Structure formats: C-alpha cells, structure tokens
Chains A and B, each alone.
Chain A
Amino acid sequence: MITVLLIIVPVLAGFVSFFIKDEKSAKGWALLSAVATLVISLISIFQNTNSLTFDASWLPMMGSRFTVSLDGMGKMLTLLTAVSFPIIFASTYNNHYKSPNAFYGFMLLTQAGLTGVFCSMDLLLFYFFWELALIPAYFLCSKWGGERRIPVTFKFFIYTFIGSLLMLVGILFVYYKTPDHSFAITSLHNLSLTAGEENFAFWLFFIAFAIKMPVFPFHTWQPDTYEQSPTAVTMVLSGVMVKMGVFAVIRWLLPMFPNASVRMSDAVIILAVIGMLYASLIAIRQDDIKRLIAYSSIAHIGLMAASMFTGDATGMQGVIFQMFAHGVNIIGLWIVVDVIEQQMGTRKFSELGGLAQKAPALAILFVIMALANIALPLTNSFIGEFLMFNSVFHYNKILGAVAAISIILAAVYTLWMVQKIFFGEVRDAEDTRLKVPANTRLMLVILVAVVLIFGVYPQPMISLTSDTVTKIIAQLK
C-alpha cells in the first residue's frame, strides 16, 4: 500500500495543483507534497519487499494487473525520485514561472510517472507510467523552456515516442510468447524464445531504452533539450528520467532476453564506449554550461550502458549505485547552473568568469559537485565508476582501457568548466556579489553531504540493492 501511496500522492497533488492559482500557494503545495512523498519513500526503505507489494485487478482481459512492488533497486530509485523533487522545488523556489499552477502540476505528474516506472511489476503498467512520465515533461519543456523550445522539445518528444512505440510492439510480442498470456514480471522472466525472436524483441526494447538513456548514436535530442528546458525540468530529465532507461534495461531487458543480451553485449558495449569518448570530446568544445553537462551526462550514461551488458554482478552493482550517485550529482550541478543563469543572465563560458570571488561558497560547492562528476575518490560516483570500469575492463581489457580514457577527458572538460566559470578575473565591471539564496545553498549543502557520505561509506546503498543484483545475475546465467 505504501508503494501505491508513492504514486497516488503526487498524482493527486498534481491535479490539485492545477487549480491553485496563487503562485506562492502552488509552490508551497508542490513542496509539501514532494516532502510528503519523501517521507513515504523513507518509510518504504525499511519495509521488506513483500509488504511493499500491491496487486489489484486492472485489465483482466488483457492479462494485465496493477502490480507494484519495490525491490532494492526500486527502493533506491524511488528514493532518488522522492529526494530529487523536494530538492528541485526548494532550490528553484525563487524562480518565477508563468502559470505556476500548471508548472507544478506537470512536475508532480512527472514525479508520479517516474515513481510508477520504478515500481511497476507489470509490463503494460510499466509502459503506462513510462509514457506518463514523458508527456508532462514534454509540456514542461515546451511551455517554460528557452527560445528554441518548441522544435527542440518536439524532437525530444518524437524521438522518445518512437522508442516507446517500438517498445510497445516488443511488449506485445513478448506478451504473446508468455505461456499464460500475461504481463506479469514473473511470467516474462521465464520466456522461452527462439534465438531469432529473442534478438528481434531485444532490439525493439533496447532502442527505446537506448533513446531514453541516451546511448550513442541515439543521443542528439538530449543536449538540445537540456539546453532549452527550464533548469528545474532539466534536473528532472537528467537526474531521474534518464535513469528510466538504465533501470528498464536491468529490470526488464536483461532478464527477459538473457541470451540475446549476451549475444548483443559486444555491439552494445562498443557503441557505449564510442559514445563515452565521443561525448567527452564534444563536451570539451562546448561554450554553454548546460550543453557541456549534457554531453558529460551522455558519457557517464554510456559507461552505465556498457557495464550493464558485461553480465558481471559487480558491474551491475556499480550501475545501480551509480544511478543514484549520478542523479544526485547532476542535480547539484544544475542547481548551480540555475543560480548562475538566473543572476548572471548567461550560460556562456565566454561571458562568465571569476565567480569564485563573487560567491565563494557557491564555488566550493560547485567544485565538489564537479569533482563528483569526475568520480574523484570519496565522492559517491567513484564507487559506482570503480565497479563499472572494473567490470568493463574484465569484459575486455582493450575496451576497458579505451573507455577509461573518458575519465581523463572528464577531468579536462569539468575542470575547464570550473575554471571558466569560477576562476580568473571577474568579467563584468560591477562589483556585486552573486546572491545565492539560502534555500538554494541549503539544498546544495544537502546534496554535497549525500555525495560525500555515500562516497565514504557506500555500504548501505550497496546492501540495499544487492538483492536486485543477485536476482538479475541469476537470471542471466
């Protein structure tokens, strides 16, 4: 029941939000609901999976049930979602959006969709939430985004929509292959397909997930979308939504098509590794903070994609851990970007510089986030990347070594970014301090604390998710 609450609360709150005309109240309402969800999520962490399972009849004629449950990975990702939204709301509390009621309404609906994706144990239900997360996000980007928002987000939408439609074909395909014609995860995890069927279905699903993650060469929607979206939405997109793709591969793709996954692993890993280097190199030449972080995110996700397909338990653990770590880190980066954009009115490196003098605290927090972005030890991403690189390296030493070059490139562009924004001489003549609102700063501090705590002592998170790893790996064998 708790699991259902996790979904219901944001849905209801979202609908209610549409009717709150007053900006302050809308904000407060959204924040309240997000915090409430966070509390529920925290409670759910300490429950066992059985008590978190909820099963109800939904579409009996189609063999689909409303089944939600949370295993370790699900708990972690719902927690990530539940943590992200209050932080996003709080850190952007001072931003003004036109028609705030709709803005927060859509945000909360997105949250519901994301949560639903992470806890669905029925493939059709999963698909539903998958789309539910997409549609409000589309509206958010298109309505509140930057100048080129309409074509850009439309491309994003169509791109991901094609992916999900292909997945729909895949879903139906596997549905008719289940012995009892059911979408239940237990049935789907025991498919018996011929090699050809498995490969076919594998690609249908994989393309959808690859677009969402995104994996090279399906990534071109991403930098544009991140650039054009309002930063709060970018946070959702990059912090949580891209995890949907990774999550879906682990939850559905690998266990459903274990043999195809093994057969295709070479191709996927090579693509992912190419993407890592490619995105890193492009990031080096960016002049826009958002685009740089977007490409950096592609590189990081590439590593997750590669690692998932190594079939290595350690790598899988790394991927699951990294989903959380990456979500926290990138939201932190965006918060700083948001502050800069709101106050300096630009995101161009060529127009920024010397902000460390104007906002020392912000600089420190950002540097820590940046260091987490390059997976420095004792930040949370180190744990994940260590485990993931380890698995890729064992999968193939050459590929592992090539992939690892990206950590050098990551250092190059991340430090370049830090330097361009914060170091050097102040660019504008005015000697005004950059005001970092207390709420923003507090959120950043929280995030930094999370980064460091899990960087030093990752064990709770690893233990939390180890059950998923064990199950998936057993399925792959």
Chain B
Amino acid sequence: MGRGLIMAKLVYLVPLFPLIGFLINGLGRKLLTKSLIGIIGSGVILASFAVSLGIFFEVKQDGFQPVIVSLFPFIKVPAFNIPFAFQVDQLSTLFLLIITGVGFLIHVYSTSYMHEEEPQHYGRYFSYLNLFVFSMLLLVLGANYVIMFIGWEGVGLCSYLLIGYWFKNNNYNYAARKAFVMNRIGDLGFLLAVFWILGKLGTVTYSEVFSKASTFSNYEVTAITLLLFVGAMGKSAQIPLYTWLPDAMAGPTPVSALIHAATMVTAGIYMIVRSNVLYTMAPATQTFVAIIGLSTAFLAATIALKQNDIKKVLAYSTVSQLGYMFLGLGVGAYTGAVFHVMTHAFFKALLFLGAGSVIHAMQNQQDVRFMGGLKKYMPITHITFLLACLAISGIPPFSGFFSKDEILAAAYEHNKVFWIIGVITAGMTAFYMFRLYAMTFLGHFRGTHEQEHHLHESPSAMTIPLIILAILSVVGGFVGIPEVFASNAHALEHFLSPVIVKSTEATEHLTPGTEMMLMAVSVVVAVIAIIYAWTRFSKKPEIAEPEGTGKFLANKWYVDELYDAIIARPLLGIAGVFKNVVEKSGIDGVVNGVGRGVQYAGRQIRLMQSGQVGNYILLMVLSIVLMIILVFYGNNLNPVLNYFSK
C-alpha cells in the first residue's frame, strides 16, 4: 500500500467538512443569511463528495489494500487501545459515495424546501443535517466498533433532533423521543457486543477482530452477532423495534429522505456486512436475521397497503425494503444487501423527495385521499415519482429489479419458503406503491380550491435533485447486473469481494435457467399487482374508512397499542409504585421510622421519670437485684449477652 494513495490518506477530510459546516451553521445561524447557510451547508457535503470520489478512484485500483488512518488514541488504557481511526476500503468507500452523493442532493433540495423557515431555524436545520452527515461518515469510516458506535449514536441523536425539528409541536417531540429511545435499545445490544469482543480479544479494530475471530467459541460468536443484530434492529427498524420509523416522518421530508430512507436506517446493514466474518461463523444468527428480515418485510408491506399518509406509506415501504436487505444478509447475500442499499437509497430518496415536492405544493397536506390528478400540475415530480415506483416494484431494467432479484435468488437457494414470501411481499410492494401513485397523481383533484390554486411545480433546486436521482434509479442497477445478462457482470460483487468472506458452505450458483424463471415469476407478480392497483385506484380512490382486515392493517396491527400495554404502561406503573410506595413508605419509611421510633421510645422512657422518689428507688433496687443476678448467676444468660461482645 501507499502507492499513490493520496486521497485515502486524506480521508479525515470527508467527515471534517460536514463538521465544519455544522459548526459554522450552528454557531453563526443568527449572523448568516439564508442563502449563505444553504451554500455552506450543501457546499461542505459537496466537498466531501469530491474527496470521496477521489478516494473511490484510488480504491478501485487493483491490489488496493485497506488503509487505516489513525488520528489519535481515543481511549487508551493498559488493557486495550481504541484509536480514533478511519478505515478506507471498498465497503466504506461505497457508503461514502452514497452518503455524500445522496446527501448532497438532499441538501440542495432542502435549501428550497425549507426556505420558509426563519433564518436561525434554517441555520439550525442545516447544522443538524451537516452533523448527521458527519456522524454517518464516522459510522462507516470508523476502523473499529467504538468509532462506529460513536457514529451509530450520533446519527440517532441527529435523527432525534431532526424529527423534533419543529419542537413546538409536542407530538413531534414524542416521535423524536420514541425514535431515540428505541434506537437506544438497539444501541444497548451493540454496546454489549462491543464489550464482549473487547473482553475476549482486547481489541475492537476490525482487522484484528476478524483475524482473531476463530478464537471465539460457537456460543460466543452467536451471542455477539445476535447482540450486534439487536443494534441493527433498532437502527434499521426491524421487528420488534420498527415502530419508531413511521412516527419519525414527523420530521421535515428531506430528513425522511436522507435519514429515514437512504442512509441512517441502512447502518444496520452496513454493520452486519462489515462484520460478515462473524456472521458467517454463526449460522444460527443468520437464520434468525433472515426470519426477522422477512417477517418485517411482510408485516410492513401489509401495513403499507392501507396507509393514507403519503409519507407513512413510504415509511412502511422503507421498513419493508430494509427487511429485504436483512433477508439478503441472513441468506448470505451480503453483496445483494449492499446492492439493495444502494439502489434503495436512490429510489427511496427520490420517492421521499417527490413526496416532499407534492407536500410542498399541497401546502403540507399529506393525506393522499385529498390529492389526485397532480400529474398535470407537477410533471417533473410525476415522472420521477413514477420511475421510482417502477424501480421499487422491481420492474426491469430499473435498479430495484436487479438488487431485489439478487436477494430473492439467494433466498431461493437457501429456503424456498423464504422466496415465496419474498415474492408475495414484492407483489404487495408493487401494489401499494402504485396505489399511492394512482391516488396521488391520477384521477382528479380532491383537495380544496385554495390548494388547487396554489398547485405548481417545485423550483429547480428541488427538481434537479429529483431528476438526478431518477437517472440513478434507472441506471443504478447495472453495477450489479447478474451474469445471465452480461458477461462482465456483478461489478459490485467483484468490487466488494475483498471485504466479504464467502461462507464456506455456500451452495452452488443457480443455473441460469432457474434464475431466469425466478425473475420472470417476480416480474409477473409485480406487473399484475401494478395493473390491478393502477386500474383500481385511478378511477375509484379509496376514501372510506377501512373495515375488518383493512382496519386491522390501517391500524398497523395495533402494535403500538400492544407495546403500550405490555411495556410502556407496566414500566410507568412500576416506576409509580417505586416512587410512591417503595421509596416513600418503604425505604424512606424505614429511615423516618427509625427517627420516629427514637422519638416514640423517648416518649415512653420518659414515663419512667415519674417524679416519685419511691419509684426511682424501687427501680434502683430492682436494678441492683438484677445486676447481682447477672453477676453471680449470669452464666446461664450467656447466649443472650454474648451477642454484645463482638
């Protein structure tokens, strides 16, 4: 290494720029003008993106070895040394590009979207966004689990801050807090895993951990990977810690696009891919991951079927797609998962930004039942949104098709039931996306006149990112095109191969015929779902309140209520009991009781002080008698009295 790797050594610049942006915007939010804030906010990300590109080109060269840039010792104690170090390799570089690239576009979009905010809040927004990018970059760049954890918690914090951005609204604050707390539950698992690794190996640096991984017993590696996965559950919104993500839509829409679709929620996938060495050693965990991923994908998809809030649909869709990615991880298709992260970043960011554009135009109306027919008012938004819908539905040759099929193929290899459920879920995905599309853009407008009067296409700062993302959504899939279509296929897999260890028990690849067959089935299912949704909802939008199963789905399987009933309420109840009963009457009761006991004893003993000489002398005489008994006949009393001698 070292040969011409100039950019890789400057990798610290990548997170540094957003940090600078954060500081400038954060401290100077009252001094800077809005445009200046926008320029700084986006500019630093662009700078990071440029550096990332430079790094990418270096990493792409053959024979590239991972570069570790160590800045300073973060925690250095005799038992271990955790440096503040960054690791540049294929995986982190890929994520750098996604984060800074998509991040930049969303920043640009935000300059326009958030333009109505007061300058200081505008500055606050951009500083949060910059801080988020900084944290996310730390997460993917860290050369050890602790640095990753810093980013891991940092993105959680930024997510909290941005969800609660409009802090006057207490519902948003609740959503923010919920997000943070649920993330924390996951973080706890992550942290415990880190402790375990640290205790066993005395290091958390990836390269050392993976090279020493064989010292773990089977039980340990399973436990560690499970704990890490708990972290991923929280961050990437998997069952049972997924309910925060739909609520997180309280934040500004670009935030949803960046954090809750494109980047932060994929941190869990990044982490597992990063730890693929460990996961490959723990097949039990892998199966668990696959099952959780698949269940989440299915559950979220069913919920998405009946949601009417445009962002909620997209949120559940995100949860569902993340489930897909975990399915991929669980069946060993690490590259597939990363591939899907990438394509998902493109089209889901696009969908959210498109939705943002719609919401912007609709003056913050988010319910699709009051939209419709926007096609003619917002052409660019409409086209890009349609492309994204096709991409997510897995229609060839859009990006989603390739990435999703890679996962499904791997699932098929692993277990056919996984595949069947996966395909059904894919069908549902196509259905709800086009239900959403149809109700938003097709048919006739159902909103108020005032809203109709204001309908317009968004400004270019918003549409240009849409267009760029649309292009990426369309062509992005070709980096991972399967072998059946091209000879020089799976560029992504080749690129990532140095960081991913193949499972030793990996089955043979499917025959091209089977693979074609699988693709055909999923495409057919998707197309049928699209046609049904399109025809049904463009004519007769679903406005009535749902009933029966529909109501069950619309109410999200009542999971929030369930959590409330079995976790939140009992916990508060216990806390109340502790506060009002145990603390007051119990512990403090004992303490005060001692005091009261002393007073009571004082009051009683006082009565012996009767003032009567006769009584006093009587007590004295009795005491003398007792004392003599004690001294001369006292041996029989020994057991009682020995109590006082030590």
Contact = CB atoms under 8 A, between A and B. Distances in A.
Touch between chains A and B, by CB atoms below 8 Å: yes
Interface of A: 155, 158-159, 200, 217, 219-221, 278, 281-282, 284-286, 313-314, 317, 354, 356-357, 360, 371, 376-378, 383, 386-387, 389-390, 393-394, 397, 400-401, 404-405, 407-408, 411-412, 415-416, 419, 422-425, 457-459, 462, 466, 469-470
A284 B177 CA distance: 13
A400 B192 contact: yes
A393 B223 CA distance: 14
Nearest to A312: B79
Nearest to A158: B595
B191 A404 contact: yes
Nearest to B574: A281
B78 A377 contact: no
A34 B587 CA distance: 38
29 contacts: A155-B592, A159-B591, A217-B587, A221-B591, A278-B582, A284-B571, A285-B575, A356-B167, A376-B153, A377-B150, A378-B150, A378-B154, A386-B75, A386-B191, A393-B196, A393-B199, A397-B196, A408-B184, A411-B180, A411-B184, A412-B177, A415-B160, A419-B174, A423-B164, A423-B173, A457-B74, A458-B75, A459-B74, A459-B76
A285 B78 contact: no
Interface string B46-86: 00000000000000000000000000111111111000000
Given A314-B79, A423-B168, A459-B72, A408 B185 contact: yes
A285 B578 CA distance: 9
A278 B578 contact: yes
B198 interface: yes
A404 B188 contact: yes
Cβ-closest 7 pairs across A and B: A377-B150, A281-B575, A423-B167, A220-B588, A393-B195, A424-B170, A394-B199
A357 B168 contact: yes
B102 to A, nearest CB: 24
A115 to B, nearest CB: 27
Given A408-B181, A457-B72, A313 B587 contact: no
A454 to B, nearest CB: 11
Contacts of A416: 177
Given A278-B578, A357-B168, A408-B184, A314 B196 contact: no
Nearest to B187: A407
A415 B77 contact: no
Contact of A376 (B157, B574, B579): B157
A285 B579 contact: yes
A462 B154 contact: no
A394 to B, nearest CB: 5
Nearest to B164: A423
Interface in B136-151: 146, 149-150
B583 interface: yes
A65 B588 CA distance: 40
Contact of A220 (B75, B575, B583): B583
A287 to B, nearest CB: 10
A397 B197 CA distance: 12
Contact of A387 (B77, B160, B169): B77
A466 B78 contact: yes
A278 B581 CA distance: 12
Nearest to B150: A377
A16 to B, nearest CB: 38
Contacts of A377: 149-150, 153-154
A371 B157 contact: yes
B160 to A, nearest CB: 7
Nearest to B171: A424
B120 interface: yes
A147 to B, nearest CB: 18
B192 A404 contact: yes
A137 to B, nearest CB: 19
Given A407-B184, A412-B181, A313 B150 contact: no
A453 to B, nearest CB: 13
A354 B160 CA distance: 17
Contacts of A470: 78
A358 to B, nearest CB: 12
Given A285-B579, A314-B79, A415 B180 contact: yes
Interface of B: 72-80, 120, 146, 149-150, 153-154, 157, 160, 164, 167-170, 173-174, 176-177, 180-181, 184-185, 187-188, 191-192, 195-196, 198-199, 571-572, 574-576, 578-579, 582-583, 587-588, 591-592, 595, 646
Contacts of A401: 188, 192
A295 to B, nearest CB: 9
B404 to A, nearest CB: 34
A415 B191 CA distance: 20
Nearest to A411: B184
B168 A425 contact: yes
Given A313-B78, A415-B160, A282 B168 contact: no
Contacts of B587: 217, 219-220
Contacts of A424: 167-170, 173
B167 A459 contact: no
Contacts of B72: 457, 459
Contacts of B180: 411, 415
Contact of A354 (B153, B168, B195, B579): B168
A287 B417 CA distance: 52
Contact of A394 (B160, B184, B195, B592): B195
Contacts of A360: 120
Contacts of A200: 646
Contacts of B196: 393, 397
Contacts of A459: 72-74, 76
From B80, B154, B195, B595, name the one whose CB has the most chain A CB atoms within 10 angstroms. Answer: B195
A157 to B, nearest CB: 12
B184 A282 contact: no
A317 to B, nearest CB: 5
B26 to A, nearest CB: 8
B583 A408 contact: no
Contacts of B169: 424
Contact of B188 (A397, A405, A419, A425): A405
A60 B271 CA distance: 64
A386 B572 CA distance: 27
B237 to A, nearest CB: 17
Given A389-B191, A407-B187, A466-B77, 18 more contacts: A155-B591, A155-B592, A219-B587, A286-B579, A314-B80, A317-B77, A354-B168, A360-B120, A386-B75, A386-B191, A400-B192, A407-B188, A422-B167, A423-B168, A424-B167, A458-B75, A459-B72, A470-B78
Contacts of A286: 579
A411 B160 CA distance: 11
A360 B30 CA distance: 11
Nearest to B160: A415
Contacts of A378: 150, 154
A314 B174 CA distance: 37
B177 A415 contact: yes
B50 to A, nearest CB: 26
Given A356-B167, A377-B153, A378-B154, A314 B579 contact: no
B173 A419 contact: yes
A195 to B, nearest CB: 14
Given A360-B120, A408-B181, A285 B79 contact: no
Nearest to A353: B170
B177 A383 contact: no
Nearest to B186: A408
A296 to B, nearest CB: 13
A368 to B, nearest CB: 11
B187 to A, nearest CB: 8
A192 to B, nearest CB: 18
A281 B571 contact: yes
Contacts of B576: 285
A313 B78 CA distance: 8
B195 A390 contact: yes
Contacts of B646: 200
A398 to B, nearest CB: 11
